[in-house]
Amino acid sequence: MAIISRGFHGRPRVPEGRLPPGQYETRDFPVLSAGPTPRISTDRWEFTITTESGARHSWNWDQLMALPTEQPTVDLHCVTKWSKFGTDWQGVSLDVLFEDVETAADYALVHSYGGYTTNLPLEDLLDGKAWIAYRYEGEELAPEHGGPARLLVPHLYLWKSAKWVRGIQLLLQDEPGFWESVGYHNYGDPWREQRYQGD
């Protein structure tokens, strides 16, 4: 008598070195949010970078759409332990948005419609590491996944990739965001399992 059903092959094998410790692969895209889903129309959407001196650099939706785009394919890693491989996005690199921004800041506090915030070192947003993403898998980004546009910082846990992004505030000193102020790790590197303070 067979113990394993014919055709059962177990979990798919993850290529070595692709899955951070403590994570498992999912083919779904789970929806996790710290509050209700904001519904922001593109005619009201605006993104602003504010420097430590108060200088503002702003883009409306049409201005964002006129900028050069990239189509990164990245793996996502959530602090709740799921990872999703090979996700396809379209958006504007933060390098483009920061081209004319003069700053001495080392830190960024990201703000979202709905009041969510998260903090990152500024260097983690530059040099091809982050995008303002507005398309996912060839479609407009759905509101539950952060549409019309979200921050995408795939080398950190997904809570750092703020949904419904509306701005970045540049700071000379680090300031914790929403999850960081209630015990989540300040940095959030999935390869070092930095889920909570003290990890």
Residue 69 lies inside a defined structural domain of this protein: yes
In the prediction, which pLDDT does 13 show?
A: 54
Instruction: Report the candidate in 64, 31, 60 with the shortest Cα–Cα distance to residue 146.
Output: 31
Q: Enumerate residue ranges in the chain where pLDDT < 70.
A: 1-16, 34
Residue 19 lies inside a defined structural domain of this protein: no
Residue 140 lies inside a defined structural domain of this protein: yes
Q: How many residues does the chain have?
A: 199
Residues in Cβ contact with 72 at an 8 Å cutoff, skipping those fewer than 6 apart: 88, 89, 91, 131, 152, 154
pLDDT digits 0-9 by tens, 1-15: 445 445 444 455 555
Residue 181 lies inside a defined structural domain of this protein: yes
pLDDT digits 0-9 by tens, 26-47: 988 878 776 778 899 999 999 9
Per-position b or e across 170-187, b if 16+ CB within 10 A of its CB = bbeeeebbbbbeeebbeb
Residues in Cβ contact with 106 at an 8 Å cutoff, skipping those fewer than 6 apart: 121, 122, 123, 171, 172, 174
Residue 160 lies inside a defined structural domain of this protein: yes
Domain count, the chain: 1
In the prediction, which pLDDT does 6 show?
A: 52
Cα–Cα distance, 199 to 184 (Å, whole number): 9
Residue 130 lies inside a defined structural domain of this protein: yes
Residue 199 lies inside a defined structural domain of this protein: no
CATH number (domain holding residue 147) = 3.90.420.10
In the prediction, which pLDDT does 198 show?
A: 87
Counting other chains too, the contacts that 1-9 makes at CB distance below 8 Å and 24 or more residues apart are: none
CA dihedral over 194, 35, 123, 180, signed as positive or negative? negative
Do 79 and 69 meet the contact criterion of CB atoms below 8 Å apart? no
Residue 56: what are its φ and ψ, rounded to 5°? Answer: -115, 135
pLDDT digits 0-9 by tens, 172-188: 999 999 999 999 999 99
Residue 5 lies inside a defined structural domain of this protein: no
Residue 129 structural domain:
42-192
In the prediction, which pLDDT does 9 show?
A: 44
Q: What is the dihedral of CA 64, 69, 70, 76, to 10 degrees?
A: 20
Residue corresponding to tokens 């080392």: 106
